[in-house]
Amino acid sequence: MSQQKFMQNPWSNWMKGEGPDSDIVISTRLRIARNLRQHPFPLLATDSQAEEVVRKVAEVSRSEAMKSRYPVQLLQMDQLSPLEKRVLVEKHLISPHLAEESRKGAVLLSEDESVSIMVNEEDHIRIQVLLPGFQLNEAWEVGTKIDDVFETQLTYAFDEKRGYLTSCPTNVGTGIRASVMLHLPALVMTQQINRILQAINQVGLVVRGIYGEGSEALGNLFQLSNQVTLGMSEADILSNLYSVARQIIEQERVARRYLMEHSRVDLEDRIYRSYGILRYARTMESKEASQRLSDVRLGLDLGLIKNVSHQLLNELLVTTQPGFLQHRAGQKLTPEQRDERRARLIRERLSAH
């Protein structure tokens, strides 16, 4: 796939709308942080030192071990426009940090975009696997195999007592962050979400917004991830996250049944009203679009709306973002122009189904 296709193509593997528990779990992400021994961490590296890391990582990516199983394409951050980098952030393929602050950074992307390997972000290497639905073990299996390929050809910064060494102390140890993106509209509507979020913080997990740390939980989407990487094995981290996510999934399903049994008319009115606005509105802000799409997604999961798909709603979640709209337009747009284009895109895509 060419560089331009990564930008123009709205589809990524995680948007399929398939996989276990896909009515609530939009996607599963696994990230493995690694650094190279005898190389300054990215925050302290010179441009030439950072370029050397990119060269070494790129060499491994071209090895037969990688090409035969996980072929990837290298994109250099300094060769991308700010808008192109924003599109990659909106598709969840790179972090905001890599897009905005990394010097001499790069990303290696698989064709279906399920694998992205960030280079010179906070750490030298951040292997990311992004899959649709609730697939923690499957994501770990892919991620650890890629990690093994790199570890056989590069020397990692590793300490016998502390484990893998990272720029941020919270990643020291296993270096893994696993997360699931959850759609929790019923827990929000029944005002249970704050109680649940408080309980999550007490079991070594954290909840963030749709684009990670510091971002807002738009469209009732929440990222649940592990907070501790030191003193726990990879299996323990994944098991803890799986157990808590499973409980939240069940609580969301209970809340959805409650709303259907006790507030069905109000719920249907909210869902159909949002669907009608999405079908016919001429202007729409990003925040409103996220909320309306969340309502329609809930209606689809409850069997109230039939003629849309999870994949379409996941695509719209990305293609209605400011960066994607402007990249497609080929120019910078005012907020008013973005709102008009966003509404038009949603109308066209919904009317085509």
Query: 74 with 161, same domain?
Result: yes
Report the CATH number that the domain containing residue 240 is assigned in CATH.
Answer: 3.30.590.10
Residue 235 labelled as part of a binding site: no
Residue 127 pLDDT more than 80?
Answer: yes
Q: How confident is the model at residue 335 (pLDDT cuts 50, 70, 90)?
A: very high
Instruction: Give the mean pLDDT of 331-338.
Output: 95
Q: How confident is the model at residue 229 (pLDDT cuts 50, 70, 90)?
A: confident
How many structural domains does the chain have? 2
Domain boundary among 208, 225, 256: 256
Residue 37 labelled as part of a binding site: no
Q: CB–CB of 52/60 below 8 Å?
A: no
**Which of 13-17, 113-117, 167-171, 233-237 is the most confident on average?**
113-117
Domain residues for 233?
3-256
Buried/exposed 135-161: b ≥16 CB within 10 Å, e otherwise: bbebbbebbbebbebbeeebebbeeee
Query: 299 with 153, same domain?
Result: no
Instruction: Give the mean pLDDT of 94-122.
Output: 92
Q: How confident is the model at residue 251 (pLDDT cuts 50, 70, 90)?
A: very high
Domain boundary among 256, 275, 293: 256
Instruction: Give the mean pLDDT of 289-313.
Output: 95
Instruction: Give the mean pLDDT of 47-66.
Output: 95
Residue 82: which of 322, 303, 351 has the closest Cα?
Answer: 322
- DSSP code of 158? E
Amino acid at 147: D
Residue 180 labelled as part of a binding site: yes
Query: 218 with 344, same domain?
Result: no
Query: 167 with 109, same domain?
Result: yes
Residue 117: which of 82, 154, 158 has the closest Cα?
Answer: 154
- State residue 337's pLDDT score: 97
Tell me the whole-structure pTM to 2 decimals.
0.91
pLDDT digits (tens, 9 = 90+) for 184-219: 999 999 999 989 988 888 888 898 866 555 446 688
Residue 190 labelled as part of a binding site: no
Residue 213 labelled as part of a binding site: yes
Residue 313: which of 85, 132, 136 has the closest Cα?
Answer: 132
Task: Quote the mean pLDDT of the chain.
Answer: 91
- State residue 160's pLDDT score: 86
Residue 208 labelled as part of a binding site: yes
Instruction: Give the mean pLDDT of 323-349.
Output: 94
Residue 67 pLDDT more than 70?
Answer: yes
Q: How confident is the model at residue 22 (pLDDT cuts 50, 70, 90)?
A: very high
Query: 244 with 287, same domain?
Result: no
Query: 67 with 110, same domain?
Result: yes
Query: 298 with 154, same domain?
Result: no
Residue 349 labelled as part of a binding site: no
Buried/exposed 208-243: b ≥16 CB within 10 Å, e otherwise: bebbbeeeebbbbbbbbbbebbeebebeebbebbee
Residue 52 labelled as part of a binding site: no
Amino acid at 197: L
Query: 32 with 141, same domain?
Result: yes
Query: 278 with 252, same domain?
Result: no
Residue 17 labelled as part of a binding site: no
Residue 118 pLDDT more than 60?
Answer: yes
Instruction: Give the mean pLDDT of 35-58.
Output: 94
Query: 205 with 276, same domain?
Result: no
Cα separation, 39 vs 50, in Å, equals: 9
Q: How confident is the model at residue 228 (pLDDT cuts 50, 70, 90)?
A: confident
Query: 242 with 280, same domain?
Result: no
Query: 292 with 220, same domain?
Result: no
Residue 39 labelled as part of a binding site: no
- State residue 50's pLDDT score: 94
What residues pair up with 110 in beta bridges, in sequence order?
72
Residue 211 labelled as part of a binding site: yes
Residue 31 labelled as part of a binding site: yes
Instruction: Give the mean pLDDT of 38-62.
Output: 94
Residue 99 labelled as part of a binding site: no
Residue 209 labelled as part of a binding site: yes
Strands 115-119 and 163-164: unpaired
Q: How confident is the model at residue 284 (pLDDT cuts 50, 70, 90)?
A: very high
Cα separation, 346 vs 352, in Å, equals: 10
Residue 105 pLDDT more than 90?
Answer: yes
Q: Flag the least confident range among 59-73, 152-166, 202-216, 245-259.
A: 202-216
